[in-house]
Amino acid sequence: MKVEIRAYKPEDEIGWVRCRVLAFLDSAYYDNVLTAKERYENQAIELVAILDQTVVGLIDVEYENEERSVCSRGTGLGGMIWHIAVHPDYRRQGIARTLLAEAERMARQKNLNRFEAWTRDDKGVNRWYQQNGFSSDYSYLHLYINEEDSSEVIHSQDKNILPMTTFAHYVGDNKEEVKSQYKRAYECFCYEKVL
């Protein structure tokens, strides 16, 4: 199997979206569905892995020209990995690692000194980041608060607006206690890799 790693092209968009959707379906981001590829405010390294004219993997890294204009942590110029995904039928063949290695090579040429990435508490995904040289020292919670859970948390000043579902960030210190109160609560980890 010979996978080609190359720059993303506009005509790759449908394949990019399909690959990302399928890759995210069995993850904690299963409902983070995109119908079009994101466009970035800053420059980006956008790569795809192609096999038999099909997008089987992708990585998007938006990068800084000014410190802290994209990344939230670290010092120097960084790149934020917004998307990295491999089609489920092509996993465990080194595609993600190859995409990351090429993105790192390109980032060094652009004088970036680190990558930042955020992910939820999927054990396999977190293990992949750790095995590929990333470390994490910060996390917070993603909370999906539904109608049953929201009466104590979410209120509207307009009596005609009834909050039904809310997505919230919890940045306090009692993560385990808060996590136990909601059906859908994910710990979101910040990973950083020095290049």
pLDDT above 80 for 151: no
Which pLDDT band, with edges at 50, 70 and 90, does 147 fall under? confident
Confirm whether pTM is higher than 0.85.
yes
Exposure of 160 in the CB half-sphere (CA atoms within 13 A): 0
pLDDT above 90 for 97: yes
- For 179-192, what is the mean pLDDT? 94
Which pLDDT band, with edges at 50, 70 and 90, does 110 fall under? very high
pLDDT above 80 for 152: no
Question: Rounded to 5 degrees, what angle do the CA atoms 104, 105, 111 make?
Answer: 85
Instruction: Report the C-alpha gap between 64 and 112 in whole angstroms.
Output: 8
Start and end residues for every CATH 3.40.630.30 domain found in the chain: 4-136+189-194
Exposure of 146 in the CB half-sphere (CA atoms within 13 A): 5
CATH architecture of 4-136+189-194: 3-Layer(aba) Sandwich (3.40)
Q: For residue 9, give the nearest of 55, 40, 41 by alpha carbon.
A: 55
